[in-house]
Structure 1
Amino acid sequence: MKMKPAVAVIGAAAVAVSMAGCSGNNASTQSTTASQLTVMVTNSPSATALQAIAPAYEKKTGTKIDFVTVSGDQLATKLVLSGKSKTATFDIAQFDQPQLASIVPAHALLPLDKYLTSDKTYDFSDFQKPLQEYTQIDGTSYGIPLSTEPYVNFYRTDLFDQAGLKAPTTWSEVDAAAKAISAAGGYGFDGPYGPTLDSGPEYFERLLENGGRLLDPKSGEPLLDSKLAIDVMKDTIDLAKYSPPSTLAGTAGDSATAFTQQNVGQNIQPSGWYGTLDDPKSSKAVGKIGVAPVPSATVGPYQPANILKGWVIGINANTQHAAAAWNFLSFALGKDNVQKFIDAGAPVPGRTSTLQSTKYNGELPYLKYLLPSIQSGTTLPVIPELTQITVDVCQAMSKMANQGADVSSTMKSLNEQVKQLLVQDGRIKQ
């Protein structure tokens, strides 16, 4: 992934973050042991799995593992501030892959290639090339997969059986199933269509699976006013009439809740949501969840692709305990701890050996679809503007789904809005 220089924008509230801690990555980073390591995480099944694994590492090495939990939108901010101040109040950090565009220019993450090439126990070769590249900027690895969550279509097997439907394999079948299940008294689809960051990626997934792209891969120009982008948005918005009211202004979490509590036929989400949807403590859909791959169609000019999703974890560039931090990551995310991730309800890191395992496929029905999704997978543009672009798309989707805004004119205005953002930042020319 090539990335042009960019300025990371930090919220004013982040100034309050503590700057205390050790600074500088000096010779002591070569020590493979440390009395204590601090891991910054956000509330997620992946973080829960790490916390479940930590005691075994503490017992094995004597190194105490402390966890500091922050909101997901603060992960990048705290990493960037750490890089700019050259301090380390944490040694290891969880973050989202698109955040690399802001974190790496701040020199906040340690390049990991020397560990990845030398640590045969961790075995980086056990990951498919798209996943190896998932955490790279300009060919340098700044993290490793903490979870691997390409999109899949979760569907209710009981509702499909009652309607005489089979698992959809094309987009027209997805749309037809939504209509049929709604006609039978349920909800055929499951948003979300709210103005937050969640609705846009659902549209992006359908766009890419139809051979479209958000930006022109060569020129960087936005493509949201193309015929394909507009047609895909029309199909996406058309599904809103089959969705529960709570998802029309809601988030991905609201969609998951609706799927677990109401008669919802389909929910296209990152595969990591499976643990939530099938949780016997909170879901009424347990035992009734089928999984199908997201349909792919050669409509647009580009190769149809599933959007790679998943948490990443890396090492603070300013820690004095880099080698010890790597040792913990190598242990926690190694092959021997896959079962603990599954037991914690967390999506697995996506090792090929895991995805091909008969045992693990028997426990997680979505695993069999992950390998082909990874092999053909891609990422959204790794640029700092992606967050704002996604917000703009989400707000436009909410207007189209909830206020009846015309799709064609809204998409053309949206494309101009995105273009001006990219021009302003110097990414493209007027």
Structure 2
Amino acid sequence: MNPLPAPPGRPSYSRRKFLGRVGGAALVPAFGSVLAGCGGEGDTGPGGATSGTVTFVYYGDAESQKAYDKLFTKFRAKYPDITLKAQGIAADSWAAFANTVATRLAGGQSLDVVQIATEGQRIFASKQLLEPLDPYIQKDKAAVDAYYADTPPNLRKWLKEYASPDGKTYFMPGGYNTMAMYLNTELFGKAGLNIPQAWTWEEFRAAGKTIKEKTGAFLTVAGSGYFTDVMTWLTNNDTSALSADWKTPQYDSPAAVEALTFARQLVVDGLAPKPGGNLEAATLMAQGKLATFGGGRWPTNDLRRVKFVGKVRLVRWPKNAGVGSPVGWDAWPILKQSKNKDAAWTLIKYLISEQFGDAITTGGGGAVPARISDATGADFLKDAPQNTELLVELLKDATPIPGPDRGAECQKVIEEAWLQGISGTKEPQAALTEANKKLQDLLK
């Protein structure tokens, strides 16, 4: 999770393009080049002096650079012998960010700690780019145990399951995003509708028809984002694009076809705008033209910008065969080629500290803080939509966003097929059957 500019789950409707449209295939040669230079110089065990230079790379632009500089003021004061170089990489997507990191590593640039999102964690670990953290965790067991005690246990479980090819620990978990539905309470009131505590797909569609008739507003938006659209509809129909172990595609299952057919029908019925263009959901909602849209934490900042937070409530996504949500999280590893691993661990200890957690909670972050005490605290819930705590509650029903080794190419196939379906250029069954065959080849 990037706690500031580009959180897990952020769409343009963009985060889940982590290893996306630029293509995972482009990453493989770069990773291969890096492997030859891993290890060797600077390889030391935990402990020793915490001094020297540490380079931390994250997904962000010039504005986020200012924010990070503020966040790290206390770190620099506490560890004056460590020169921290926090470098943001401005990119259109997480895919472009990942490719830039891989290119820098292949070119011999020394990086120590990198922000890595869910989809990239397995490939970074499986390509032996990362240093096992277990010796460092053992050395600072009290601090790590305190952090784990204040973070959702699922984050640690999922990292072990999906990002530890050999049973070792390569990441400390950061913040996360689940997918709720942002609901315009003002529009629902004008349409004479009650705010749902839970609802079905058909109840959702019926509400949309009433809203359209009485206010002229759209019910929701129709997108093809892997995280924000595809996986959200699928998980609420008790399915996923891939099997639980990410080894087998199931994108053409009856449940997946049913989900895409339903999403397409919202467009046909005029309850969602036709796909395409850049819709500013928060602005449309503030203008009374949109009743709902999906999101994690990040839309809160957009709603603050248009001064509409107070009229929005988070509710669960409508369900069909099951109740669910995708989940994605950021994590922090030490790169194997780091020449200053002890100082890099010192930085990670700061990133998991209460001090840093409190700072990102009050700093307008776009993701749910990893620490439960922060994610359920008054600072996080202040100036936020009603029922924002739902983002934490959704973890218990959440499915990790699949990120296999060739995840970038898989994501491209998945998103293109969904777009074909909701736009009507292909029938849902045909689009998903063709995509599933492509996924089978990618996962061999």
Bucket of the pairwise TM-score, normalised by the shorter protein: 0.7 to 0.9
Equivalent AA in structure 2 for residue 130 of structure 1: N
Q: Residue 187 of structure 1: CA displacement? A: 1.7
Distance of 2:287 and 2:330 partners within structure 1: 26
Give the structure 2 partner of residue 224 of structure 1. 251
Equivalent AA in structure 2 for residue 171 of structure 1: T
Give the structure 1 partner of residue 230 of structure 2. 203
Q: Residue 257 of structure 1: CA displacement? A: 5.8
Distance of 1:398 and 1:370 partners within structure 2: 26
Does the CA contact (< 8 Å) of 1:29 and 1:320 recur in 2? no
Within the alignment, does 1:285 sit opposite 2:303 as a pair?
no
**TM-score relative to the length of structure 2:** 0.78
Equivalent AA in structure 2 for residue 336 of structure 1: Q
Q: Give the secondary structure class of the aligned counterpart of 2:177.
A: coil
Q: Residue 93 of structure 1: CA displacement? A: 0.7
Q: Residue 157 of structure 1: CA displacement? A: 1.6
Label 1:105 to 1:82 Cα distance change in 2 as closer, same or farther (>3 A). farther
Does the CA contact (< 8 Å) of 2:361 and 2:374 recur in 1? no
Q: Residue 76 of structure 1: CA displacement? A: 3.0
Partner of residue 268 from structure 1, selected from 279, 290, 294: 294
Q: How many residues align?
A: 401
Partner of residue 132 from structure 1, selected from 142, 146, 156: 156
Gaps of 5+ in 2: 1-23
Give the 5 Å matches for 1:395-414: 395-414=416-435
Distance of 1:88 and 1:119 partners within structure 2: 31
Label 1:368 to 1:164 Cα distance change in 2 as closer, same or farther (>3 A). same
Partner deviation per Cα, 1:251-290 (whole Å, 9 max, x = no partner): 7x85456556662111112x1213333233xx25332221
Within the alignment, does 1:349 sit opposite 2:369 as a pair?
yes
Partner of residue 161 from structure 1, selected from 173, 189, 208: 189
Q: Residue 132 of structure 1: CA displacement? A: 0.9
Equivalent AA in structure 2 for residue 318 of structure 1: Q
Give the structure 2 partner of residue 36 of structure 1. 53
Within the alignment, does 1:191 sit opposite 2:256 as a pair?
no
Q: Give the secondary structure class of the aligned counterpart of 1:319.
A: coil
Partner deviation per Cα, 1:86-145 (whole Å, 9 max, x = no partner): x55221111211112321122222222333453423422322221113333244332223
Q: Give the secondary structure class of the aligned counterpart of 1:36.
A: strand
Does the CA contact (< 8 Å) of 2:55 and 2:85 recur in 1? yes
Give the structure 2 partner of residue 5 of structure 1. none
**TM-score relative to the length of structure 1:** 0.80
Partner of residue 136 from structure 2, selected from 115, 118, 122: 115
Within the alignment, does 1:294 sit opposite 2:294 as a pair?
no
Label 1:131 to 1:414 Cα distance change in 2 as closer, same or farther (>3 A). same
Does the CA contact (< 8 Å) of 1:126 and 1:351 recur in 2? yes
Does the CA contact (< 8 Å) of 2:184 and 2:292 recur in 1? yes
Distance of 1:256 and 1:137 partners within structure 2: 38
Distance of 1:114 and 1:250 partners within structure 2: 49
Does the CA contact (< 8 Å) of 2:264 and 2:424 recur in 1? no
Gaps of 5+ in 1: 1-7
Distance of 1:48 and 1:366 partners within structure 2: 30
Give the structure 1 partner of residue 8 of structure 2. none
Label 1:391 to 1:34 Cα distance change in 2 as closer, same or farther (>3 A). same
Within the alignment, does 1:379 sit opposite 2:407 as a pair?
no
Farther off after superposition, 322-331 or 259-268: 259-268
Partner of residue 104 from structure 1, selected from 112, 122, 125: 125
Distance of 2:189 and 2:297 partners within structure 1: 25
Distance of 1:255 and 1:32 partners within structure 2: 50
Distance of 2:414 and 2:344 partners within structure 1: 38
Partner deviation per Cα, 1:153-180 (whole Å, 9 max, x = no partner): 1111211121122333123233333333
Give the structure 1 partner of residue 26 of structure 2. 10
Give the structure 2 partner of residue 4 of structure 1. none
Distance of 2:382 and 2:341 partners within structure 1: 37
Equivalent AA in structure 2 for residue 174 of structure 1: F
Does the CA contact (< 8 Å) of 1:21 and 1:88 recur in 2? no
Give the structure 1 partner of residue 12 of structure 2. none
Partner deviation per Cα, 1:216-252 (whole Å, 9 max, x = no partner): 347943222221111111112223332345xx1257x
Partner deviation per Cα, 1:59-101 (whole Å, 9 max, x = no partner): 121133222222232443355456667x552211112111123
Q: Give the secondary structure class of the aligned counterpart of 1:307.
A: strand
Does the CA contact (< 8 Å) of 2:65 and 2:87 recur in 1? no
Give the 5 Å matches for 1:297-376: 297-299=320-322, 304-346=323-365, 347-358=367-378, 360-362=380-382, 364=384, 365=386, 367-376=388-397
Equivalent AA in structure 1 for residue 77 of structure 2: K
Q: Give the secondary structure class of the aligned counterpart of 1:107.
A: coil
Give the structure 1 partner of residue 208 of structure 2. 178
Identity %, equivalent residues: 17
Give the 5 Å matches for 1:138-157: 138=165, 139-157=167-185
Does the CA contact (< 8 Å) of 1:142 and 1:314 recur in 2? yes
Equivalent AA in structure 2 for residue 273 of structure 1: W
Q: Residue 48 of structure 1: CA displacement? A: 6.5
Distance of 2:71 and 2:170 partners within structure 1: 22
Does the CA contact (< 8 Å) of 2:417 and 2:435 recur in 1? yes
Distance of 1:361 and 1:330 partners within structure 2: 26
Does the CA contact (< 8 Å) of 1:154 and 1:266 recur in 2? yes
Partner of residue 411 from structure 2, selected from 364, 384, 390: 390
Q: Give the secondary structure class of the aligned counterpart of 1:308.
A: strand
Distance of 2:136 and 2:307 partners within structure 1: 44
Label 1:54 to 1:334 Cα distance change in 2 as closer, same or farther (>3 A). same
Q: Residue 358 of structure 1: CA displacement? A: 5.0
Label 1:218 to 1:349 Cα distance change in 2 as closer, same or farther (>3 A). closer
Equivalent AA in structure 1 for residue 155 of structure 2: L
Equivalent AA in structure 2 for residue 206 of structure 1: W
Q: Give the secondary structure class of the aligned counterpart of 2:263.
A: helix
